Amino acid sequence: MKTVVLFVAVFCVATAGSLLAQVLDGQSPVSPRPDGFVFCSDHNNQQPVPLYGRCQKRQIGSLNCGEKVTVVARNGDVLRIIPASERAPRFVDASAISRQPDKFVPFDNDSGVPDRGPIDCSAAVERRPMVDGFMVCAPGQNSVPAYLSQCSHSSSASLACGEKVSVRARRGDMLQISTATNLQAHVALASSVSQRPDKFVPFDDASGVVDEGAHDCGNLPDRSVTAPRAIFISNPEYTDQARKKKINGTVVVSLTVTVDGTTRDIKVVKGLGYGLDDKAVEAVSHWKFSPALKDGQPIEKEISAEVTFHLY
């Protein structure tokens, strides 16, 4: 007998992002952020300027001489900047950034850049121990994307379903993690990392993982909403007509996941005909979800689903 194999991928329908009202460290969103230029002194032989994290414990990158950056704030003898190639803030020695590209002009009190004062790194020494977590894949996926920073647009690594990771901290709707084979810190959606390998248990306030707060990434969509998670998927049936015609393909439907995890308002967005559209709708009507969450509370969420039919 020919076997029907169903591949299902569920993903959220993109919604319009809302403009973030809070800007890093309380700076007004209308306050201009001046440009700066990487200044390499002659005695350093034009070597790249190192970039650091918050407390300058280790170098996390470098800047080329003359490179243009956005200056966010002063913190003692360092500047908080955003390189053109990134959206996350970094730290660099104030003596390495000039207000003018052709000569060194420091970002002093007259520069208009807010002075936030030296960073207190005394608490950074007392790190809470990392805890184990386990990667959870969405239906139809065989890996989970990870990112170098919370503001990255594209993934930098893929982690296998069930892979064990070390969870360092929470950052808004993301978790900072590392793996046994890659000790460099990455971030992944909190909804894709579980405390337990056998069922999904989120890293919430009770997990003991320190919450370091979300980074300000500018005008990005609202990330306080986590997507619904499919927990039961029923396979659709082939119609005799589609089987005889050996029809293969994908039916795309839109649907609403309710607060109790059921589905409603199922509509075909892209069909195959031969009765398969109705079979896809019928199957999706029996699906069960963990509902979408906004600030930890269940909400209704419109998503789309792909139901792929394939005959062997």
pLDDT, tens digit (0-9, with 9 covering 90-100), for 195-221: 999 989 999 888 888 887 776 665 454
Picking from 103, 122, 141, the residue at the C-terminal end of a domain is: 122
Q: Is residue 211 part of a domain?
A: yes
pLDDT tens profile 127-184:
556 789 999 987 777 888 887 777 765 566 788 899 999 998 888 888 888 887 766 6
Picking from 122, 153, 173, the residue at the C-terminal end of a domain is: 122
Q: Which of 9-23, 126-140, 264-278 has the lowest mean pLDDT?
A: 9-23
| Per-residue confidence band for 222, with pLDDT thresholds at 50, 70 and 90 | low
Which of the pair, 267 or 18, is modelled with greater confidence? 267
> What pTM does this model have?
0.35
Tokens of residue 8, six digits = 């299902």
- 202 and 236 share a domain? no
Residue 148: C-alpha distances to residues 97, 234, 259 (Å): 24, 36, 33
pLDDT tens profile 78-124:
898 888 766 677 888 888 899 988 888 999 888 888 888 887 766 54
Q: What is the mean pLDDT of residues 268-277?
A: 90
- 209 and 254 share a domain? no
Residue 193 in contact with residue 135, Cβ under 8 Å?
yes
Picking from 66, 98, 122, the residue at the C-terminal end of a domain is: 122
Q: What's residue 2's pLDDT?
A: 38
Q: Is residue 197 part of a domain?
A: yes
Q: What's residue 178's pLDDT?
A: 85
**Considering all CA atoms of the chain, what is the largest pairwise distance in Å, rounded to the nearest integer?**
80
Q: What's residue 28's pLDDT?
A: 39
- 93 and 155 share a domain? no
Q: What's residue 4's pLDDT?
A: 38
- 116 and 73 share a domain? yes
Q: Is residue 24 part of a domain?
A: no
- 234 and 170 share a domain? no
CA 128 to chain centre: 23
pLDDT tens profile 32-86:
678 899 888 665 556 778 888 777 666 777 788 888 898 988 888 889 888 876 6
Q: What's residue 278's pLDDT?
A: 94
- 111 and 161 share a domain? no
Tokens of residue 278, six digits = 């109705």
Q: What's residue 184's pLDDT?
A: 65
Average pLDDT of the chain to the nearest whole number = 77
Residue 223 in contact with residue 291, Cβ under 8 Å?
no
| CA–CA separation, 147 and 141 (whole Å) | 17
Question: Rounded to the nearest 10 degrees, how much is the dihedral formed by the CA atoms of 160, 165, 168, 170?
Answer: 40
Helix (H, G, I), strand (E, B) or coil at 72: strand
Q: Is residue 196 part of a domain?
A: yes
Q: Is residue 222 part of a domain?
A: no
Q: Is residue 25 part of a domain?
A: no
Here the CATH number for the domain that contains residue 245 is: 3.30.2420.10
- 141 and 183 share a domain? yes
| Per-residue confidence band for 229, with pLDDT thresholds at 50, 70 and 90 | confident
Count of structural domains, the chain: 3
- 202 and 136 share a domain? yes
- 279 and 236 share a domain? yes
Q: Is residue 284 part of a domain?
A: yes
212 sits in which H/E element: none
Q: Is residue 76 part of a domain?
A: yes
Here the CATH number for the domain that contains residue 107 is: 2.30.30.40
- 41 and 98 share a domain? yes
Residue 182, domain extent: 131-215
Helix (H, G, I), strand (E, B) or coil at 243: helix
- 241 and 160 share a domain? no
Other beta carbons within 10 angstroms of residue 48's beta carbon come to: 15
Q: Report the DSSP pairing between strands 174-178 and 164-171.
A: antiparallel
